[in-house]
Copies of this chain bind each other. A is one copy, B any other.
Amino acid sequence: MKILIDTYGADQGEKVLVDGAIACQKKKDFTPVFIGDKEKIEELIAGRIDKYEIIHTTNFISNDDDPARSIRRKKDASIVLAYEKAKEEGYDGILSAGSTGALLAGGLFIAKRINGIDRACLATSLPTIEGTTLLMDTGANMDCKAQYLEEFGLMGKVYLENVLGIDNPKVALLNVGVEEHKGNKLSKESYALLKEANLNFVGNIEARDLLTGKANVILADGFDGNIAIKTAEGILKLVAGQLKEVFYKSLSNKLAAGILKNDIKDMFGKYSADEVGGAPLLGVKSYVFKAHGNANEVAICNALLGLMDYIDKKVIDKIEGELI
């Protein structure tokens, strides 16, 4: 399997992508195809692995660029090269930690949408108390229509059934209350549509149940999904920081914290974004995973494993099958 790795866009630079791919190759056999500055990448690899390819470019699309315009004009930008290459036989998928807008625009203009899907979306796996919940969309579509949310639901169902083996997953709508009449225009319209859809729709879910595992898929507008996921991230970081202060407050606290340290670290580890590492861009005809901009080596490795699982399970074919 050959995975195209966009080496631009991570906050920590190319190193984290190269190191993540090298770590991943120890866990699963695949060929990383690094797209970026050849000399720099060779230097970072430093002979640690033999099986890899490099597609040289020093151009890329940043968060400040207009995504649609750049995808069309910057023909040698790393993400454009990745999407073009992914259309060739023998290249299986793309990993990028760069601009979400560019990734989405590339998906729409180069890979193209799956027939019957109006919008692609980012499906982020949330670590919950029990199992996994897929939050979709988490940032690809800023102004959604009810119909998009229904399509997200169908794609989420296929993804969970195939990649995670969850049978007839429970699909819920993120809303401000559980009652059917609650919410804004979009959520009321979506509720009406989802009720009639070929889905195991369990109704509205409140944001306080984001990580309690009550639903397998939580549907949201990309704006709202992003607010939810970033709020969760912020609070986890805040609590971890505040706990650290408590632990260092006095000598007796330090000693007590020493005993609890590993268990608490494990606990927070369970809710760390690094565990999953990335999210599939569902709805386009290429296998694409988006890693966080601030991903570390562990996150990149886990994202690559997730991407390869997504490819192995032929999820795009199955989504197409579901829509016929």
Contact = CB atoms under 8 A, between A and B. Distances in A.
A185 B143 contact: yes
Interface in A51-104: 63-64, 66
20 contacts: A66-B181, A129-B238, A176-B226, A176-B227, A176-B230, A187-B223, A207-B234, A208-B233, A208-B234, A212-B234, A224-B227, A227-B227, A231-B231, A235-B235, A243-B264, A245-B267, A247-B260, A253-B259, A253-B260, A255-B256
Contacts of A237: 208
Give the interface centre of A143, A177, A222, A234 by most chain B CB atoms within 10 Å. Answer: A234
Question: Top 9 nearest A-B pairs by Cβ distance?
Answer: A208-B234, A207-B230, A142-B184, A256-B256, A256-B259, A231-B231, A207-B231, A235-B235, A176-B226
A221 to B, nearest CB: 8
Number of copies: 2
Interface of A: 63-64, 66, 129, 139, 142-143, 174, 176-177, 179, 181, 183-185, 187, 206-212, 221-224, 226-239, 242-243, 245-247, 249, 252-253, 255-260, 263-264, 267
Contacts of A63: 177, 179
A256 B246 contact: no
A243 B267 contact: yes
A230 B224 CA distance: 12
Contacts of A231: 207-208, 210, 227-228, 231-232, 235
Contacts of A208: 230-231, 233-234, 237
Contacts of A267: 242-243, 245-246
